[in-house]
């Protein structure tokens, strides 16, 4: 009986994937990744992997596959590459590897960001599931990362429990 309860509270493992040509070449500091790490660790989750890679679709897809399939991480947050620039390939690379989308997460982030800036309408961020890993695209700016994580973090524990099959059928409890 206690086993299920203990599993429900097993620490959430997180991967942080910064997608930036300049940061991957050391030409610019990665600021989105550290912002994610700070918020994730403050929530009690564990950052198990942190990578900085260039805006190459094959590299992004390969990293997501490795983090989901080999590392079996609960959540993978990407930062960067969600806009309209020709090198912004994160959403396409994510869609190429997920089993299904979770559109409410991306919609909620855009809605919250839209209250602060009309540029939020230009975000192409996606969220979805590969195997048992939830993958969420975040913007590259640390300010926008914080705003978006503020919106999605409350839903993460339930999502992870569901993906771990720790949440039972959505039925009313039986009497007795």
Q: Which residues contact 6 (CB under 8 A, 6 or more apart)?
A: none
Residue 37 lies in a domain: yes
Residue 174 lies in a domain: no
Residue 13 lies in a domain: yes
Number of domains in the chain: 1
Residue range 27-52: mean pLDDT, rounded: 96
pLDDT in the model for residue 166: 81
CATH number at residue 116: 3.40.980.10
Q: Determine the structural domain holding residue 76 and report its residue range.
A: 2-163
Query: Does the predicted TM-score (pTM) go above 0.85?
Result: yes
Confidence of residue 167 (pLDDT cuts 50, 70, 90): low
Mean of pLDDT over the chain: 91
Residue 172 lies in a domain: no
Residue range 162-172: mean pLDDT, rounded: 71
Buried b / exposed e along 50-84 (16+ C-beta atoms within 10 A): ebbbbbbbebbbebbebbbeeeebbbbbbbbbbbe
pLDDT in the model for residue 69: 98
């Amino acid at each position: 009986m206690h086993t299920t309860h203990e599993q429900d509270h097993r620490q959430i493992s997180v991967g942080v994937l910064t997608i930036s040509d300049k940061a991957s070449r050391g030409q610019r500091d990665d600021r989105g990744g550290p912002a994610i790490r700070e918020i994730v660790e403050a929530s009690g989750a564990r950052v198990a992997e942190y990578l900085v890679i260039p805006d190459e679709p094959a590299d992004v897809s390969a990293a997501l596959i490795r983090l989901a399939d080999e590392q079996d991480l609960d959540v993978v947050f990407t930062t960067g590459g969600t806009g309209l620039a020709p090198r912004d390939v994160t959403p396409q690379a994510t869609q190429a590897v997920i089993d299904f989308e979770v559109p409410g997460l991306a919609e909620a982030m855009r809605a919250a960001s839209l209250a602060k800036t009309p540029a939020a309408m230009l975000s192409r961020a996606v969220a979805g599931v590969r195997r048992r890993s939830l993958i969420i695209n975040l913007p590259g700016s640390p300010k926008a990362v914080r705003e978006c994580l503020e919106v999605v973090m409350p839903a993460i524990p339930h999502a992870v429990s569901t993906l771990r099959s720790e949440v039972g059928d959505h039925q009313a409890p039986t009497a007795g």
